[in-house]
Amino acid sequence: MKMKKFINDPESLTDELLEGMALANSDIVEVRGHMVISRALAGADRVTIVTMGGSGHEPAQHGFVGEGMTDIHVVGDIFAAPNPQAVFEAVKLADKGHGVLLLVLNHAGDMLCGNMVMKMVEKEGLNVKKVVTQEDISNAPRSNSDDRRGLAGAIPLYHIAAAAAREGKTLGEVAAIAQKYADSMATIAVAARCATHPATGAEFGDLGDIDMEIGMGQHGEGGGGRQPMKTAKETIEIMANALVKDIPLQKGDKVFVMVNGSGATTLMEMWILYKDCVHYLESLGIQVVANMVGEILTVQEQAGFQLNIAKWDDVTLARWNTPAHTIAFHK
C-alpha cells in the first residue's frame, strides 16, 4: 500500500502537528517543545494529571489536555514514548501542591519511560502516583494483566480522574479511583485494512482484501484472530461477548461503551456498530448509560475500531456528567 499523506519533513512530524494543534486551540492549551499544557493548570489548586505517549494516534492523547481531563501531556515521536527527562519536567511543572497522578498505557516504551520517571521522582521525594491501564483482552487473560496492552479505555478514565481531583480528593484517593476504573474495563480491537507509518512510509498490519484481524494492537502488531470480514452485527457480537465474559458483566449491570474508530473507518460504520452493540448488550440485560463514539485513539489510516466496555456505578456516571473543555472532548 503506497503512503499518500499530506506531510512535510518526516523528521518534524510531531513538532509540526503540535504547532498546528496549538494554533487551532490556543485558548485551551500551550505547547512548549513536546509538552502540551492545559491553560487551566496555572489556576489549579488540586491533584493534577500528567499523561505521556507517542504521537500518531490523534486526537489521542494530546487532544485530551484541558479542563476536566489532563493537565499536561508529554508527546513522543510517532508511536514512540517520550523521553523520561521531559516527563519528569512535566511532573514537576504540574505539581500544584496536592501531588500528581501519572497515567501510563501499558506498552513497552511507555512503561520503561514511566518506570524511569518514577525512579527520578522517588530520588527527589516528589508526591507522584503512577497508575497503569492495561485492558486489551486479546493478548493475555485478566490474571496476567501485565501482558495486556493499554488501549483507548484510558481516555474516559482521564475525565473521571479529573472530576475526582476537582472534588478535592487527595492524590491517594484519585489514584485509587483511577486504579478501580482501570480494573473494571476491557477493550478489544479489530482491523480490516492496514496503515502506513508516516515517518518511514512502511506498511504495517497487512490483511489483504478478504480478512479482518480481531485483537490487532494499536501500532499494527497483530492479535492472532485473523478471519474473513463479517457484518457489523456479527463482529460486534464476537467482540462484545468476549468483553462481557472478561470483565465480567451480568444482567442488571450498567456500562459505558466506546466505539473508537482507527482512522479509516467511517462514522457511518461506527454508528451502525454502536447501535448493534447497544442492542446486543440490552439483550443480555445490560444497560448502556454513557458512550463515546468517534475517532478517539487512531492508528493513522487503519480501518477498524476498538470496542471498550467499562462497568460503571452511579458515582462514576455523576463524575462523567461534569464539565470538560479539551481539544477533542467537551462536556
Partner 1 sequence: MSVTATFLADRFTSACESVKAAEGELTEIDSHFGDADHGVTMVKIAQAIEDAVKANSGGIKAMLDDSASAVMMINGGSAVPLWNTWLDGMQEAAPDAEEMELDDLRKVFAGGLKALSALSKARVGDKTMMDALIPATGALMADGGTAEEALDAAAQAARDGAEATRNFVSKFGRARSYGEQTLGTPDAGAVSMAYFFAGLAKK
Distance (Å, whole) CA 100 – CA 216: 32
* From 167-175, 213-221, 286-294, 304-312, span contacting partner 1 (CB under 8 A): 213-221
Name which position in 12, 144, 200, 250 contacts partner 1 (CB under 8 A).
200
Query: Is 279 known to be catalytic?
Result: no
Would you count residue 24 as binding partner 1 (CB under 8 A)? Answer: no
* Closer residue to partner 1 in complex, CB, 214/249: 214
β-partners of residue 263 are 302
Region near partner 1 per CB under 8 A, out of 73-81, 258-266, 307-315, 321-329: 73-81
Q: How far is the CB of 30 from partner 1 (least distance, A)?
A: 19
Indicate whether 221 belongs to the interface with partner 1 (CB under 8 A): yes
CA 25 to mean position of chain CA atoms: 20
Indicate which single residue of 3, 30, 222, 284 sits in contact with partner 1 (rule: CB under 8 A): 222
330: helix, coil or strand?
strand
133 within 8 A of 106, measured Cβ to Cβ: yes
Long-range contacts formed by 7-15: CB under 8 A, 24+ apart: 7/198, 10/198, 10/199, 10/200, 11/199, 13/55, 13/56, 13/77, 13/78, 13/198, 13/199, 14/55, 14/75, 14/76, 14/77, 14/78
**Cα–Cα distance, 100 to 52 (Å, whole number):** 13
One of 57, 62, 73, 98 is an active-site residue; which one? Answer: 57
Q: Are the beta carbons of 127 and 171 closer than 8 angstroms?
A: yes
Is 211 a residue that touches partner 1 (CB under 8 A)? no
- The interface mask with partner 1, positions 131-170, x = CB under 8 A, is --------x-------x-x---------------------
Identify whether 57 is a catalytic site residue: yes
3-class secondary structure, 122: helix
Interface residue list for partner 1 (CB under 8 A): 14, 34, 76-85, 107-109, 112-113, 115-116, 139, 147, 149, 197, 199-200, 202, 204, 217, 219-224
Return the active site residues. 57, 219
